[in-house]
Amino acid sequence: MSISILCAVLFIGFAAALQSEPITQDQRMEWWRRSRFGLFIHWGLYAIPAGIWKGRSIPGIGEWIMYSAKIPVEEYRKLAKQFNPQKFDAKAWVELAKTAGMKYITITSKHHDGFALYGSKASSYNIVDATPFKRDPIRELAEECHKQGLKICFYYSQVQDWNEPGGYGNTWDFPVQGDFQKYLDEKVKPQLTELLTEYGPIGMIWFDTPYNITAEQAQSLKDLVRRLQPACIISGRLGGGVKTDYISTGDNVVPGSMIATDWEVPATLNDTWGFKVEDHSWKSPRQLTIILFDIVAKGGNYLLNVGPTAEGVIPAESVAILHKMGEWLSVNGESIYGTEASPFQREFSWGNLTRKGDKLYLGFYQWPAGEFYLEGLLTRVEKAWLLADPDQKGLAFQQTLDPSAGRPRLSLHLPQQGPDEAVSVVVLQLTGEPMVQQGLFQSGDGSVLLPGVLGKISRAGEEAQLNFGSRTGGSDGWLDPAIAIDWDFHLEKPGRYRVDIITMETGQHGDPAWVGGHTFEIHSAASLQGVIRADEREYSPRAHYWHRIHTHAGCLTYNRPGSQHLRLQPLSINPEQKPDGQPGFTFKEIILTPED
Ligand code: JFZ
């Protein structure tokens, strides 16, 4: 008996034993919650054309080339005869992920093109049987991951399969949709069974494009995974409305607020998943580190992608970026791994916070040289220091906790320069669990931020709902002008304030959409009316592809300090459609900035 078969047998025994003692959701998610950062690998036959078909650059993401160029099955399948990635080195890939500070690897076992990157018995269209390479990279990677202590996870395209008449997506070869159930029974289930029985413990199955699948069909896939490996996590994109173990956001989409469940952002280093020779739009390590910190501060995981070449090489630019992130994590990992979301349910213009026990980690995306103020913290600070400082030299601070002062405030005296060009982290050791006074306060720089997520949402006096979670931080599907948002906030300095309304671009990454033209009213110290227009387009690393659009709504003058109120009421919402769907009023927040 070969080692791998022995392992498989032992493993099935192990899984069966586990079944008698059902695993809890918390147990299943434990490693995942601790990990926070994983490596996505999109690798397959599409790495050969690398975005170019018959001399023509094909727009869009690399792994979609068969679809985008409408390549007939017979022609695309011939790529397999050329696939011979002699430079593939599982050990080096796993080492790279480790060096980058990543704790799991999710690799495409079968993408939409239908080609299996492992030795499948259920379909001969696979790397072992159909290519001169003949090796099974999924097995080599799984073994390396097990050896080096990383979790191995498999992406599997359950709905789209452009190689099969029963799979969805290929309308150029199969103008009439074939039998999807037959495809599920004869390809998907046998392949998932192989993946879940022949490669040892699998961290998760990453399903994708959750459309055109019924609740029963999706449930049958979930049941299959649960039966074979009860501890295996099921990704957010299964479909059929079936509940899975966590939520996947849209690609590269960092939600504007906390989501009250486990969630993960799948994201690219450039603009493609599968390798494209012409894609040089690399994000900087600084941008990516900010996004990592922001995701973790909101309680999520970051799954960051590389697209190896047809030779089996991870592009040098990707390696360099991941090394940089790994360097940052080797100093600042304490603020990431095993942490929880920020106790402040909001973003700050300077950055964000993570929390572990009685410690808070302030991640600065912009370094506020000199005095820095944090409003709302009710727990006493014992000591503050720079996480990058090996001597943990205390930073000077003052704290006002007296409720008569109007709001609790921490003033921190920071050095002129932050220790890190990406995210500089300050640790606050507290005397107990962080307690936060939820409320909206004027910040140290005099501005007041009124985020949609922290407003009171109503419709004709009744409580109503708006979703700020799933898109780029702007509200999702605000089409009803009868919905209004109210905020109570505390103002310290009376005076004249400029009012900016922030809306977000939406759309697929690399192809942003924005619709303005909505009309609104603001009621506060005075009433303002206006039209949502793009007066300013601001880049934000948090949202990367999607700009923040400022509408200058006018000025408000407050004569007294203390409690204030502001209401935002749309008068009309422009129903204009974009190809990617209907943005509606993609409101994110209002910012009041002192005029003098
Ligand atoms: C999918 C795939 O089609 C793509 O090739 C890649 O594998 C990516 C990780 O996932 O594409 C999607 C799926 C969902 C969204 C966007 C792209 N989404 O919800 O915004």
Q: What is the dihedral of CA 42, 107, 322, 303, to 10 degrees?
A: 100
Residue 237 confidence (pLDDT): 93
- C-alpha 220/C-alpha 213 separation (Å) is 11
For residue 80 and ligand 1, the question of a CB distance below 6 A is answered with: no
- C-alpha 49/C-alpha 62 separation (Å) is 9
In CATH terms, the superfamily for domain 448-594 is Galactose-binding domain-like (2.60.120.260)
For residue 476 and ligand 1, the question of a CB distance below 6 A is answered with: no
**pLDDT confidence of 578, banded at 50, 70, 90?**
confident
* Mean pLDDT calculated for residue range 579-583: 67
For residue 546 and ligand 1, the question of a CB distance below 6 A is answered with: no
Pocket test for ligand 1, best of 209, 237, 252, 271 (most atoms within 8 A of CB): 209
**pLDDT confidence of 544, banded at 50, 70, 90?**
confident
Task: Measure 157 CA to ligand 1 centroid, in angstroms.
Answer: 10
For residue 400 and ligand 1, the question of a CB distance below 6 A is answered with: no
Residue 332 belongs to what H/E stretch? helix 316-332
**pLDDT (tens digit, 9 = 90+) per residue, 114-134?**
999 999 999 999 999 999 999
Token pair recorded at residue 234: 């099921």
Choose between 54 and 403: higher pLDDT. 54
255 - beta bridge partners? none
Pocket test for ligand 1, best of 110, 157, 273 (most atoms within 8 A of CB): 273
Task: Measure 248 CA to ligand 1 centroid, in angstroms.
Answer: 10
Per-domain residue ranges of the chain: 3-10+26-330, 351-438, 448-594
Residue 370 confidence (pLDDT): 84
Task: Measure 249 CA to ligand 1 centroid, in angstroms.
Answer: 10
**pLDDT confidence of 435, banded at 50, 70, 90?**
very high
469: left (phi over 0), alpha (psi -120 to 50) or beta: alpha
**pLDDT (tens digit, 9 = 90+) per residue, 266-321?**
999 999 999 999 999 999 999 999 999 999 999 999 999 999 999 999 999 999 99
For residue 68 and ligand 1, the question of a CB distance below 6 A is answered with: no
End-to-end CA distance of the chain: 80
Residue 1 confidence (pLDDT): 41
pTM: 0.93
Q: List the CATH code of the domain at 3-10+26-330.
A: 3.20.20.80
Contact 34, 151 (CB under 8 A): no
- C-alpha 313/C-alpha 185 separation (Å) is 35
User: Which residues, 6+ apart, have CB-to-CB distance to 240 below 8 Å?
Assistant: 210, 213, 214, 215, 216, 217, 218, 219
User: Which residues, 6+ apart, have CB-to-CB distance to 543 below 8 Å?
Assistant: 254, 472, 473, 504, 505
Dihedral of alpha carbons 19, 22, 27, 29, sign: positive
**pLDDT confidence of 484, banded at 50, 70, 90?**
very high
Contact 513, 578 (CB under 8 A): yes
Buried b (16+ CB within 10 A) or exposed e, 252-288: bbbbbbbbeebbbbbbbbbbbbbbbeebeebbebbbb
| Cβ-defined contacts of 311-315 (< 8 Å, 24+) | 311/85, 311/86, 311/87, 311/88, 312/85, 312/86, 312/87, 312/88, 312/89, 312/137, 313/87, 314/93, 314/96, 315/275
Contact 494, 558 (CB under 8 A): yes
Residue 7 confidence (pLDDT): 53
Contact 552, 463 (CB under 8 A): no
For residue 492 and ligand 1, the question of a CB distance below 6 A is answered with: no
Task: Measure 251 CA to ligand 1 centroid, in angstroms.
Answer: 6
* Mean pLDDT calculated for residue range 389-395: 98
Q: With a cut of 70, say whether residue 580 has pLDDT above it.
A: no
Pocket test for ligand 1, best of 58, 158, 161, 208 (most atoms within 8 A of CB): 208
What is the CATH architecture of 351-438?
Sandwich (2.60)
Closest atom, ligand 1, to C-alpha of 64? 5
* Mean pLDDT calculated for residue range 168-194: 98
Q: Which residue's CA is the closest to the ligand 1 atom numbered 10?
A: 208
**pLDDT (tens digit, 9 = 90+) per residue, 199-256?**
999 999 999 999 999 999 999 999 999 999 999 999 989 999 999 999 998 888 888 7
Residue 506 confidence (pLDDT): 86
Q: Which residue's CA is the closest to the ligand 1 atom numbered 15?
A: 250
Lowest mean pLDDT among 106-120, 152-166, 425-439, 567-581: 567-581
* Mean pLDDT calculated for residue range 458-466: 93
Helix (H, G, I), strand (E, B) or coil at 256: coil
For residue 266 and ligand 1, the question of a CB distance below 6 A is answered with: yes
* Mean pLDDT calculated for residue range 76-81: 98
Q: Looking up tokens 């702007």, which residue turns up?
A: 474
**pLDDT (tens digit, 9 = 90+) per residue, 4-27?**
555 554 555 555 555 557 899 999
Lowest mean pLDDT among 160-164, 175-179, 367-371: 367-371
Token pair recorded at residue 154: 């498999």
- C-alpha 94/C-alpha 39 separation (Å) is 9
For residue 61 and ligand 1, the question of a CB distance below 6 A is answered with: yes
